[in-house]
Amino acid sequence: MSCALNLSPRALEILACRELPEWQSWQWQLAHTLSASDFGIQDYPKFPLRVTPYYATLADLNAGATDPIARQFLVAQEEFLPDDFSPDPFGETAHAAIAPGIKQRYPDRILAMMNVTCSTYCRHCTRRGLLGQACRADLETLIAAIQARPTIREVLLSGGDPLLLPDEEVLRWVNALTALPQLDAVRLCTRTPVVLPMRWTDTLIEALATSGRVWVQTQFNHPNELSPEVQTLATRLARAGIPVSNQSVLLRGINDDPAVMAKLCAGLQRNRIRPYYIFLCDPIAGINHFRTSVQTAQDMRQYLLNHLGGLACPRVVADLPDATHKTDV
């Protein structure tokens, strides 16, 4: 492969497996994730480069870091520059915590960190400074916290990526939670549909569909992520009756062109994935180079309103630390 990046022999060998049956195994993908040394670039030790072979092949590696997919997983030089931002502006490690890995910011929802790793580390991740020190929630503590708070009607299982856990562990949590009559929905917050679609085996989909109360929340950021594998997965999830909603992040150099974002939203709707939110990129240490101006977000919102019907048009919002709801731009 001719490539602007200096791919290691290991990377070339792994990426050449694309047509082999093992490529479709999510465990194989996890066992063969690529790291900074595979791309011949400097790593960022506190939040290392990790990408699934599948997601790496969505990128045009000849274009290097200018490619909108590669830009989401390659460590950039800007990450090493000092900035004035905190790694934790939302106080995730300090407040709103009910117990380790469990927190409540809104009256009707509770969030639990079910896992602290990801198959692909998104360079723009809001939790990039926290994942290494985060705690996993305890299921029994979570259930007790929900039962003690009758206003809670929805639980968000997040991380890290909860879907990196084995089926038995995912289903232990989901089945215990969907058995609670007070909960209307269990949201699985996962980027696996984008970076590891083979994680969604028939067995898992069938088991998750049983309760009728599981929702998937994911993060597509660019139309190039809507691969044939994703289109097939979206059909399987729709047929199983599992609703999928999407929360994009507005990222400079990736999707801050309104025509690109409109194409993504239309593609999501075509695949029955609801374009739900576009988040302004949070002011987190190390990701300033991804942030856009508020004016860019407002122009984006106006363009989408002018070009898309309501069902394909997400809300453009900011997640402000002390707000009681997402704030429209």
Positions annotated as catalytic residues are 105-106, 109, 118, 122, 125, 127, 282, 319, 326
Q: What is the largest CA-CA distance in the chain?
A: 59
Cβ nearer to ligand SF4, comparing 61 with 251: 251
CB 247, min distance to ligand SF4, A = 10
H-only helix segments in the chain: 9-15, 26-31, 36-39, 53-58, 70-73, 139-147, 167-178, 192-195, 202-209, 228-240, 258-270, 294-307
Cβ nearer to ligand SF4, comparing 159 with 197: 159
Q: CA 226, CA 230: separation in Å to the nearest integer?
A: 6
Q: CA 119, CA 112: separation in Å to the nearest integer?
A: 19
Those residues whose C-beta lies under 8 Å from the C-beta of residue 13, and which sit 6 or more positions away, are none
CB 159, min distance to ligand SF4, A = 6
Residues in contact with ligand SF4 by the rule CB under 6 A: 118, 121-122, 125, 127, 159-161, 191
Looking at the DSSP bridge assignments, the partners of residue 327 are 318
CB 147, min distance to ligand SF4, A = 27
CB 52, min distance to ligand SF4, A = 11
Q: Is 157 exposed, middle or buried (0-12, 13-18, 19+ CB in 10 A)?
A: buried
Cβ nearer to ligand SF4, comparing 254 with 312: 254
Q: At what angle do helices 139-147 and 167-178 cross, to 10 degrees?
A: 10
CB 128, min distance to ligand SF4, A = 7
The pair of structure tokens assigned to 44 is 């960022």
Cβ nearer to ligand SF4, comparing 67 with 92: 92
Cβ nearer to ligand SF4, comparing 219 with 271: 219
The pair of structure tokens assigned to 245 is 């909603």
